[in-house]
Amino acid sequence: MPTQYKSTFGEPQGYSRMAIAFHWLIALLIASAFAIGLVMTSIPGFTPTKLRYFSWHKWIGVTAFVLAAARIVWRATHRAPPLPAHMSRWQRGAAHAVHALLYILMIAVPVTGYLYSSAANVPVVYLGLVPLPRIISPDPEWKAILKTAHVTLDYGLAALVLAHVGAALKHQWIDRDRLLSRMIPFLK
Protein backbone atom coordinates (compact mmCIF):
# COMPACT_ATOMS: atom_id res chain seq x y z
CA MET A 1 0.00 0.00 0.00
CA PRO A 2 1.54 3.37 -0.94
CA THR A 3 2.48 5.68 1.91
CA GLN A 4 0.88 8.68 0.25
CA TYR A 5 -2.66 8.28 -1.04
CA LYS A 6 -5.04 10.84 -2.51
CA SER A 7 -8.39 12.05 -1.28
CA THR A 8 -11.29 12.36 -3.67
CA PHE A 9 -10.15 15.95 -4.28
CA GLY A 10 -6.60 14.94 -5.22
CA GLU A 11 -4.93 16.21 -2.05
CA PRO A 12 -2.41 13.93 -0.34
CA GLN A 13 -3.79 12.30 2.83
CA GLY A 14 -0.49 10.89 4.06
CA TYR A 15 3.12 11.86 3.74
CA SER A 16 5.32 10.38 1.03
CA ARG A 17 7.97 7.81 1.89
CA MET A 18 10.65 10.47 1.36
CA ALA A 19 8.94 12.92 3.74
CA ILE A 20 8.59 10.15 6.35
CA ALA A 21 12.25 9.17 5.92
CA PHE A 22 13.39 12.80 6.35
CA HIS A 23 11.17 13.21 9.41
CA TRP A 24 12.35 10.14 11.31
CA LEU A 25 16.01 10.35 10.31
CA ILE A 26 16.25 13.99 11.35
CA ALA A 27 14.31 13.24 14.56
CA LEU A 28 16.80 10.48 15.40
CA LEU A 29 19.75 12.77 14.66
CA ILE A 30 18.34 15.60 16.78
CA ALA A 31 17.65 13.28 19.72
CA SER A 32 21.13 11.74 19.41
CA ALA A 33 22.90 15.11 19.19
CA PHE A 34 20.95 16.40 22.19
CA ALA A 35 21.72 13.30 24.28
CA ILE A 36 25.41 13.31 23.37
CA GLY A 37 25.52 17.06 24.08
CA LEU A 38 24.14 16.51 27.57
CA VAL A 39 26.60 13.70 28.27
CA MET A 40 29.68 15.43 26.84
CA THR A 41 29.09 18.69 28.71
CA SER A 42 28.72 16.81 31.99
CA ILE A 43 32.20 15.25 31.70
CA PRO A 44 34.74 17.38 33.60
CA GLY A 45 37.98 18.44 31.88
CA PHE A 46 39.10 17.35 28.43
CA THR A 47 39.29 13.59 28.39
CA PRO A 48 39.63 11.47 25.25
CA THR A 49 36.04 10.30 25.77
CA LYS A 50 34.75 13.87 25.99
CA LEU A 51 36.64 14.87 22.86
CA ARG A 52 35.27 11.82 21.01
CA TYR A 53 31.72 12.79 22.07
CA PHE A 54 32.32 16.35 20.85
CA SER A 55 33.37 14.95 17.46
CA TRP A 56 30.30 12.71 17.26
CA HIS A 57 28.09 15.62 18.29
CA LYS A 58 29.53 17.78 15.50
CA TRP A 59 29.24 15.01 12.89
CA ILE A 60 25.61 14.45 13.81
CA GLY A 61 24.99 18.21 13.71
CA VAL A 62 26.49 18.57 10.24
CA THR A 63 24.48 15.58 8.99
CA ALA A 64 21.28 16.94 10.55
CA PHE A 65 21.91 20.34 8.95
CA VAL A 66 22.39 18.85 5.48
CA LEU A 67 19.30 16.65 5.82
CA ALA A 68 17.23 19.53 7.24
CA ALA A 69 18.22 21.74 4.30
CA ALA A 70 17.28 18.93 1.89
CA ARG A 71 14.02 18.44 3.77
CA ILE A 72 13.16 22.13 3.48
CA VAL A 73 13.78 22.00 -0.27
CA TRP A 74 11.66 18.83 -0.48
CA ARG A 75 8.87 20.42 1.55
CA ALA A 76 8.93 23.55 -0.63
CA THR A 77 8.35 21.40 -3.71
CA HIS A 78 5.94 18.81 -2.25
CA ARG A 79 2.58 19.59 -0.74
CA ALA A 80 1.88 18.41 2.80
CA PRO A 81 -1.38 16.60 3.48
CA PRO A 82 -4.12 18.86 4.84
CA LEU A 83 -4.81 19.01 8.55
CA PRO A 84 -8.05 17.37 9.70
CA ALA A 85 -11.10 19.50 8.90
CA HIS A 86 -12.31 19.43 12.51
CA MET A 87 -9.20 21.20 13.84
CA SER A 88 -9.93 24.64 15.21
CA ARG A 89 -8.34 27.75 13.75
CA TRP A 90 -6.01 28.19 16.72
CA GLN A 91 -4.85 24.55 16.49
CA ARG A 92 -4.09 24.96 12.79
CA GLY A 93 -2.21 28.19 13.51
CA ALA A 94 -0.27 26.56 16.32
CA ALA A 95 0.59 23.55 14.14
CA HIS A 96 1.88 25.78 11.34
CA ALA A 97 3.83 27.98 13.78
CA VAL A 98 5.46 25.00 15.50
CA HIS A 99 6.41 23.44 12.17
CA ALA A 100 7.91 26.72 10.93
CA LEU A 101 9.89 27.14 14.15
CA LEU A 102 11.08 23.52 13.96
CA TYR A 103 12.42 24.13 10.44
CA ILE A 104 14.13 27.35 11.55
CA LEU A 105 15.72 25.68 14.56
CA MET A 106 16.80 22.59 12.59
CA ILE A 107 19.01 25.04 10.65
CA ALA A 108 19.87 27.54 13.40
CA VAL A 109 21.05 25.03 16.02
CA PRO A 110 23.75 23.39 13.87
CA VAL A 111 24.77 26.74 12.35
CA THR A 112 25.33 28.30 15.79
CA GLY A 113 27.23 25.18 16.88
CA TYR A 114 29.43 25.35 13.78
CA LEU A 115 30.09 29.06 14.28
CA TYR A 116 30.78 28.44 17.97
CA SER A 117 33.44 25.87 17.03
CA SER A 118 35.05 28.37 14.66
CA ALA A 119 35.00 31.15 17.26
CA ALA A 120 36.49 28.73 19.81
CA ASN A 121 39.28 27.87 17.32
CA VAL A 122 38.21 24.23 17.24
CA PRO A 123 38.07 22.74 13.75
CA VAL A 124 35.15 20.67 12.54
CA VAL A 125 36.42 17.63 10.66
CA TYR A 126 33.39 15.78 9.34
CA LEU A 127 33.62 12.05 10.10
CA GLY A 128 37.28 12.65 10.94
CA LEU A 129 37.99 12.92 7.20
CA VAL A 130 36.69 16.18 5.73
CA PRO A 131 37.88 19.42 7.33
CA LEU A 132 35.14 22.03 7.04
CA PRO A 133 36.15 25.64 6.43
CA ARG A 134 36.05 28.17 9.21
CA ILE A 135 33.49 30.82 8.51
CA ILE A 136 34.62 33.19 11.26
CA SER A 137 37.96 33.79 12.91
CA PRO A 138 38.63 32.70 16.47
CA ASP A 139 37.18 35.29 18.85
CA PRO A 140 36.57 34.85 22.60
CA GLU A 141 33.65 37.32 22.66
CA TRP A 142 31.86 35.61 19.78
CA LYS A 143 32.69 32.25 21.34
CA ALA A 144 30.70 33.16 24.47
CA ILE A 145 27.80 34.65 22.48
CA LEU A 146 27.59 31.69 20.09
CA LYS A 147 27.83 29.12 22.88
CA THR A 148 24.89 30.76 24.65
CA ALA A 149 22.95 31.00 21.39
CA HIS A 150 23.63 27.36 20.52
CA VAL A 151 22.57 26.05 23.93
CA THR A 152 19.51 28.33 24.16
CA LEU A 153 18.31 27.44 20.67
CA ASP A 154 18.94 23.75 21.35
CA TYR A 155 16.77 23.79 24.46
CA GLY A 156 14.15 25.72 22.49
CA LEU A 157 14.27 22.99 19.84
CA ALA A 158 13.88 20.32 22.52
CA ALA A 159 10.84 22.13 23.95
CA LEU A 160 9.25 22.42 20.50
CA VAL A 161 9.92 18.75 19.77
CA LEU A 162 8.18 17.82 23.03
CA ALA A 163 5.22 20.04 22.12
CA HIS A 164 5.11 18.47 18.65
CA VAL A 165 5.19 14.94 20.08
CA GLY A 166 2.59 15.83 22.71
CA ALA A 167 0.24 17.25 20.08
CA ALA A 168 0.69 14.19 17.85
CA LEU A 169 -0.07 11.85 20.75
CA LYS A 170 -3.11 13.94 21.76
CA HIS A 171 -4.46 13.72 18.22
CA GLN A 172 -3.84 9.99 18.05
CA TRP A 173 -5.24 8.88 21.40
CA ILE A 174 -7.54 11.64 22.65
CA ASP A 175 -8.98 13.12 19.46
CA ARG A 176 -8.66 9.75 17.69
CA ASP A 177 -8.30 11.47 14.32
CA ARG A 178 -5.40 9.22 13.25
CA LEU A 179 -3.19 12.23 12.53
CA LEU A 180 -0.14 10.31 13.74
CA SER A 181 -0.76 7.55 11.21
CA ARG A 182 0.23 9.99 8.43
CA MET A 183 3.81 9.84 9.72
CA ILE A 184 3.66 6.25 11.07
CA PRO A 185 1.75 4.38 8.36
CA PHE A 186 1.53 1.07 10.24
CA LEU A 187 -0.80 2.75 12.80
CA LYS A 188 -3.62 2.87 10.25
Higher per-residue pLDDT: 84 or 100: 100
Condensed to tens digits (0 to 9), the pLDDT of residues 121-171 reads 999 999 999 999 999 999 999 999 999 999 999 999 999 999 999 998 888
Single-letter amino acid code for the residue at 74? W
Q: Give CA–CA dist 82/93, Å, rounded.
A: 13
User: What domains are there in the chain, each with its CATH number?
Assistant: 17-187 (1.20.950)
Please tell me the predicted confidence (pLDDT) of residue 5.
39
Q: What CA–CA distance (Å, rounded) separates 170 from 23?
A: 19
Higher pLDDT pick, 111 / 16: 111
DSSP string, 120-146: TT---EETTTEEPPPSS---HHHHHHH
Sign for the CA dihedral angle at 181, 182, 184, 188 comes to positive
- Over residues 91-104, the mean pLDDT reads 94
Identify the band that residue 84 occupies on the pLDDT scale cut at 50, 70 and 90: confident
Mean confidence (pLDDT) of the chain: 89
Q: Is 85 exposed, middle or buried (0-12, 13-18, 19+ CB in 10 A)?
A: exposed
Measured CA to CA, the distance from residue 71 to residue 64 in angstroms comes to: 10
CA separation for the pair 44, 53 (Å, rounded): 13
Average pLDDT over residues 16-29: 94
Give the confidence band of 4 by pLDDT, cuts at 50, 70, 90.
very low
| Cα dihedral 86/89/90/93 (nearest 10) | 110
Are the CB atoms for 157 and 105 separated by under 8 Å?
A: yes
pLDDT for the residue 48: 94
- Is 70 exceeded by the pLDDT of residue 188? no
Q: Which is nearest to 27 in space by CA: 166, 187, 115, 158?
A: 158
104-115 pLDDT, tens digit per residue, is 999 999 999 999
Cα dist from 116 to 50, 77, 103, 111, 124, whole Å: 17, 32, 20, 8, 10
pLDDT band at 64 (very low <50, low <70, confident <90, very high): very high
pLDDT score for 8? 39
Torsion angle in degrees (nearest 10) through CA of 142, 148, 152, 154: 70
**The model's pTM:** 0.86
Is the pLDDT at 31 greater than 60, yes or no? yes
